[in-house]
Structure 1
Amino acid sequence: MHPFAWKSLHRLAAWLLLLGAWVGARAAIPIQHWQQPSGAQVYLVESRSIPMVDIQIDFDAGGRRDPPDKTGLASVTAVMTGKGVLAHGDQPPLDENQLSEAWADLGAGFGGDAGSDRMSFSLRSLTDPALLDRAIELAARQFGEPAFPLAVWERDRQRMSASIREANTRPGTVAGKAYDHAVYGSHPYGAEVTEASLAAISIEDMQRFFRVHVMPCRARVSVVGDVDRAQADAIVARMLARLPQPQGSCPALPPVPEVQPLAAARTVAIPFESAQAHVLIGEPGYKRSDPDHLALLVGNYILGGGGLVSRLSTEVREKRGLSYGAYSYFSPGLHAGAFTIGLQTRPDQAAQAIVVAREVLARYVAEGPTQAELKAAKDYLIGGFPLRIDSNRKLLDNVAAIAWHGLPLDYLDTWTAKVARITAADVRAAMQRKLDPARMVTVTVGATP
């Protein structure tokens, strides 16, 4: 075959693969949902393309549940569940190295972590029956019978403390901590993990936290992979079987207060010897369940989420050369996560860069986007939607978000149509409802006075 023809066939094949992925991503994504007798909520997407299953189990056990004097408890509890398991029947105990080797032998993985809102445990395994059966059994042991070894915690606490000390020498870390405290105040979202808070956490604290928060009745389980409903139901039941089961109804957790809006503008200037000044500007934004979410997603892409094509980057970087880049983002959660504008600049240019960023924001909130900006943003977001769900892991992340925030089961199927219907007036109104440029905090680290 002529080389040109061979290359053409390769290009055609590649194009067909991309088209197939695009069409597949555009197709309906049926999410099955049911509740197990234990109270666990299960969300399943059957994905038959590869013999693999991904599972994520979420609990209301994130950092917002940390005691005030023990910030970091949720995070370290989740991580410590992977440091060894207790003996069970004729099964011997496993230390952290043996547990890691057992997962490696299966070609699978299981582990936990915690963010601000939730504690999550994730399993990935091939669906070969022999391998999957052993992976589920090992996950159930690690999940239900964590050893929480004291010696390992004392070692890891020293490492974490050293990491905190090192991070506090970096201007970006200093800026981020000061910013979170200024935006969130006393809310748990703004709490800081310190050497003192880690020192206050005991093994008994972890065991108690895990026992109270990690129950089957509190679980929201997302499953994506080569399994049907009956298989998924059995897998989830086995994984949760060794967790503590409450007597009667699931005990309610205490409410967490909402993030309070800022009363007035505030500037926090922190001296720091640095080649670049770090600047953060913002305020509490909105909850993920807010109906304005998609309008704000589109609106923020135009303002500062679109990289070099955003307004902030154009005005701060392109026109004035004040920074290599300026950006903005919302971080919605169960509570109002921050809206943030960020940039780095020369210390002697920080004041000018702040003025420009504030002017861009104020004008955008007042006037909204142009039709050209709106079209470009929607074209980009809609065109890029298939990349949000082009793997089992990405699809699992989306299903877990639907489960966690109580979004409609057809959320992914209707996403592009809803984005396409957003108008410039929608964006302007949503921005005006959520943002008040006159009441934002400004944090600078290393700026010239």
Structure 2
Amino acid sequence: MMKKTISRSRAVFFGLVTSLVFSLPAQAGVQIEQWQTAQGTRVYFVAAPSLPILDVQIDFAAGSMFDPQGKAGVAALTRSALDLGAGQRDETAIAETLADLGAVLGGGVDTDRASLSLRTLADVRTREAALAVLREVVAQPHFAEDIVEREKMRTVASLKDALTRPDSIAGKAFWAAMYPQHPYGQQASPESVARITREDLLAFHTRLYNATNASITLVGPLSRGESEKIAQSLSAALPAGLPPALPPPPIAPAGQEVALAHPASQAHIYLGLPAIERGHPDFFALQVGNYTLGGGGFVSSLVKEVRDKRGFAYSVYSYFAPLRQVGPFQIGLQTQKKQAGAAIKVVREVLENFLKTGPSAEELAAAKANLSGSFPLRLDSNAKLLANVAAIGFYGLPLDYLDTYRARIEAVTAEEVKAAFARHVRVADLITVTVAAQ
């Protein structure tokens, strides 16, 4: 059985420190220092001297958009297998070493990127031991044949289970319809994962987990010199290489309706279209406007019209999800099958009305007050700060992005909201996916 014990004194201390992280006051400003290693890895560092914890994240442009044709799922399998044996350690040794150090290895994979994160106590002895594990995991994974087969079986089982759930079925169909000719629409399936081999994982890792395709983010009680030394050691462990070429930008398909059968008691409905990429100047106007449309919970127009006035759904929402290339605008809800058509009609009417009128003066003020006022909560722990700075680094956003966020929100006008929505949201081009009993 895998050993899970940690020395009591270290476990208690680390637990106390971690609890303090989540009680920190919001920071007035975030000073991000940026440089490149000798190998070309971009580095982003924030000195956080208040707590003896170091947070590190390494991001690669190695998300599912880079899956080989016909083998969707390679990116996710590659990332999941990294810490299941690497360097001189098998998966048990990796887990035991981290547990003994009181360190935590995390991360994940999405459409754009694969990430590895490390949280460790910042004293030199502990952090060096934890960083040694991170270096091995990111640069020297085993991808042992038996481990790969085991993870494939788990993934196939999970995908088969997802195919029984209406929300998952709707989500896959929605992305496939929005991105029919783009990798964002390529979905892992039991069949595609079954075709993946150990050699596919090795090739994917060799191609994309390289120094120039990486960005490193550090948050903790370090000097600039210490952070440079850590970043250089991580970068030097990676092979040389190049960032991958991006595919042509997505071309928005014509509006369409997709209806899929499922015996669920509720109809699951998604509406949307490809809308905006990360860093687009219209983001702040869209963010403010969406709060009024469907992002503001009970005060949003969609909730008032769909839920409160008509009782069609318990929950209805909208949001923008900008990606490296054009990401989606999405509206989602669940309702009784017999009401699905009427609910969709109301949603479209609310959206059309918002596109014509935009937010009222009162709605605009409320949206800006909420988005600006709640923003410090996104920076009230080292972990949240790490995630935000890592996104800035990966997507190439301005270094003052966090410092200027509230001012840019507060500067948005109703006219800018209307103009931005008109540029990015077209009712005639909406993709509508409904999963319900036929």
What secondary structure, in the 3-state scheme, does the structure 2 residue paired with 1:385 have? helix
Q: 1:79 touches 1:111 (CA, 8 Å); kept in 2? A: no
AA of the residue aligned to 1:173: S
Aligned partner (choices 259, 263, 274) of residue 269 of structure 1: 259
Counterpart of 1:115 in structure 2 is 110
Counterpart of 2:68 in structure 1 is 67
Kindly state the Cα deviation for residue 316 of structure 1 after the two structures are TM-superposed: 0.1
Does residue 100 in structure 1 map to residue 101 in structure 2? no
What secondary structure, in the 3-state scheme, does the structure 1 residue paired with 2:324 have? coil
AA of the residue aligned to 1:399: V
Does residue 124 in structure 1 map to residue 119 in structure 2? yes
Does residue 257 in structure 1 map to residue 248 in structure 2? yes
> Quick one: distance in 1 between partners of 2:24 and 2:366?
23
Superimposed CA distance per residue, residues 67-123 of structure 1 (whole angstroms, 9 cap, x where no aligned partner): 12111111110111111113xxxxxx3221221111111111224422111111111
AA of the residue aligned to 2:120: S
Kindly state the Cα deviation for residue 369 of structure 1 after the two structures are TM-superposed: 0.5
What secondary structure, in the 3-state scheme, does the structure 2 residue paired with 1:221 have? strand
What secondary structure, in the 3-state scheme, does the structure 1 residue paired with 2:311 have? coil
Distance change >3 Å, CA 252–CA 239, structure 1 → 2: closer
TM-score, normalised relative to structure 1: 0.90
What secondary structure, in the 3-state scheme, does the structure 2 residue paired with 1:29 have? coil
> Quick one: distance in 1 between partners of 2:159 and 2:244?
31
Structure 1 segment 115-194 matched on structure 2, within 5 A = 115-194=110-189
> Quick one: distance in 1 between partners of 2:309 and 2:213?
52
Superimposed CA distance per residue, residues 200-219 of structure 1 (whole angstroms, 9 cap, x where no aligned partner): 11111111111111111221
> Quick one: distance in 2 between partners of 1:294 and 1:224?
26
Counterpart of 1:422 in structure 2 is 412
Does residue 203 in structure 1 map to residue 198 in structure 2? yes
In structure 1, runs of 5+ residues without a counterpart are 1-16, 87-92
> Quick one: distance in 2 between partners of 1:435 and 1:236?
41
> Quick one: distance in 2 between partners of 1:271 and 1:36?
53
Q: 1:57 touches 1:219 (CA, 8 Å); kept in 2? A: yes
> Quick one: distance in 1 between partners of 2:100 and 2:140?
20
- Aligned residue pairs total 417
Kindly state the Cα deviation for residue 141 of structure 1 after the two structures are TM-superposed: 1.6
What secondary structure, in the 3-state scheme, does the structure 1 residue paired with 2:237 have? coil
Superimposed CA distance per residue, residues 317-353 of structure 1 (whole angstroms, 9 cap, x where no aligned partner): 0011111011001111011111111100011010110
Does residue 368 in structure 1 map to residue 351 in structure 2? no
AA of the residue aligned to 1:237: Q
Q: 1:347 touches 1:446 (CA, 8 Å); kept in 2? A: yes
Does residue 407 in structure 1 map to residue 397 in structure 2? yes
> Quick one: distance in 1 between partners of 2:410 and 2:436?
42
What secondary structure, in the 3-state scheme, does the structure 1 residue paired with 2:290 have? helix
Q: 1:348 touches 1:447 (CA, 8 Å); kept in 2? A: no
Counterpart of 2:268 in structure 1 is 278
Identify which range, 108-117 or 31-40, moves more after superposition. 108-117
Superimposed CA distance per residue, residues 253-307 of structure 1 (whole angstroms, 9 cap, x where no aligned partner): 23312111123x2111112211111111111111012100111111111111111
> Quick one: distance in 1 between partners of 2:78 and 2:52?
32
> Quick one: distance in 2 between partners of 1:282 and 1:182?
10
Q: 1:56 touches 1:396 (CA, 8 Å); kept in 2? A: yes
Distance change >3 Å, CA 34–CA 126, structure 1 → 2: same
Counterpart of 1:290 in structure 2 is 280
> Quick one: distance in 2 between partners of 1:133 and 1:270?
53
Counterpart of 1:299 in structure 2 is 289
> Quick one: distance in 1 between partners of 2:371 and 2:437?
35
Kindly state the Cα deviation for residue 241 of structure 1 after the two structures are TM-superposed: 2.4
Q: 1:41 touches 1:221 (CA, 8 Å); kept in 2? A: yes
AA of the residue aligned to 1:68: Q
> Quick one: distance in 2 between partners of 1:339 and 1:94?
44
Same amino acid, percent of matched pairs: 43
> Quick one: distance in 2 between partners of 1:70 and 1:110?
27
AA of the residue aligned to 2:60: F
AA of the residue aligned to 1:196: E
AA of the residue aligned to 2:111: S
> Quick one: distance in 1 between partners of 2:140 and 2:229?
19
> Quick one: distance in 2 between partners of 1:340 and 1:28?
32
> Quick one: distance in 1 between partners of 2:217 and 2:284?
23
> Quick one: distance in 1 between partners of 2:246 and 2:173?
26
> Quick one: distance in 2 between partners of 1:419 and 1:253?
33
Counterpart of 1:13 in structure 2 is none
**Structure (1 or 2) with the larger CA radius of gyration:** 1
Distance change >3 Å, CA 445–CA 100, structure 1 → 2: same
Taking only aligned residues, the RMSD between alpha carbons, in angstroms, comes to: 1.5
